[in-house]
Chain A
Amino acid sequence: MSLLYSLARALDRFSPAPVAYAHCDIPCGIYDPHHAQMAAHTVVRMIDLINQLEKPGPNATPEQRQEYNAKLARYVFVKEQHAEIAKSEVRILWGDYFKPDHLKTFPDLHDLVWKALKSGSNEDLLKATNDIASIYWKTKGLETITVKAPYPTERQTVYPKFR
């Protein structure tokens, strides 16, 4: 080990050197299906909120109608936006992370991805992202558990069992 290198390392103890990244564009190896699951939960939450939203009756005032329309528009917008996020995250896992070897072990992967992308902004999206998460964690050698999510959606969700 060169003397100057040892000196630079020793200096890091007192004042860490700032990092200069030789930044790469290639897949970084850091993937997590949780992003897709979170976005799918948001979609489900928005569906719930839309269903719970009280519709203006025949005697509703223009203000009440306007308030209803404004809320509905926001919920629909957020639902569609997060459906796109979930689909984008699924595509990243599919295109960048999963390799042909994974397909040999999990032959239904393509079909699951297809289902996720097709289900778009309805509740099947969460199931599809859960199924993909389950495969993802298996490729990492981790078992998964399916439990009720700690969100207002309270739907069944796949989590890795970290040891």
Chain B
Amino acid sequence: MFPLRRFRIEDESMRPTLEPGDYVLVNRWAYRVRRPRRGDLVVVRDPELSDRFLVKRVSETEASTQIPLEGDNAAVSRDSRAFGAVPLDRIVGKVWLRLKP
């Protein structure tokens, strides 16, 4: 499995970091060697809709397998405040590169 995968961003909960239409390159191997850290941008499988991906930021580092996520545009973001912390195995990978127009 090639570690990098690209995703196109939609919706606005990660503004201003990510705007709709941006691309991200995601390293799917990032968490083979270490755990997610506070501040990491990650792509996860949506806990509320399993065939959809979300992009969010890790909001806390806990010594558990549950990773809390938050959107940068917190006022509008639907994230762990609504659906709870996300199991580590739902995390696709860490955003390695942001591509903007």
Contact = CB atoms under 8 A, between A and B. Distances in A.
Given A25-B78, A26-B76, A20 B99 contact: no
A70 interface: no
Interface stretch (A11-19, A49-57, A83-91): A11-19
B13 interface: yes
B35 interface: no
B12 A22 contact: yes
A23 B99 contact: no
A22 B98 CA distance: 14
What's the interface size class on A, roughly? 10 to 19
A11 B25 CA distance: 13
B52 A21 contact: yes
A151 interface: no
Contact of B10 (A5, A16, A19): A19
B82 interface: yes
A65 to B, nearest CB: 45
22 contacts: A2-B101, A4-B99, A5-B101, A8-B8, A17-B7, A17-B23, A19-B9, A20-B10, A20-B55, A21-B9, A21-B10, A21-B53, A22-B12, A22-B14, A23-B11, A23-B71, A23-B79, A24-B71, A24-B77, A25-B77, A25-B78, A26-B76
Interface of B: 5-15, 18, 20, 22-24, 26, 43, 46, 52-56, 71, 73, 75-79, 82, 97, 99-101
Interface of A: 1-2, 4-5, 8-9, 11-12, 16-26
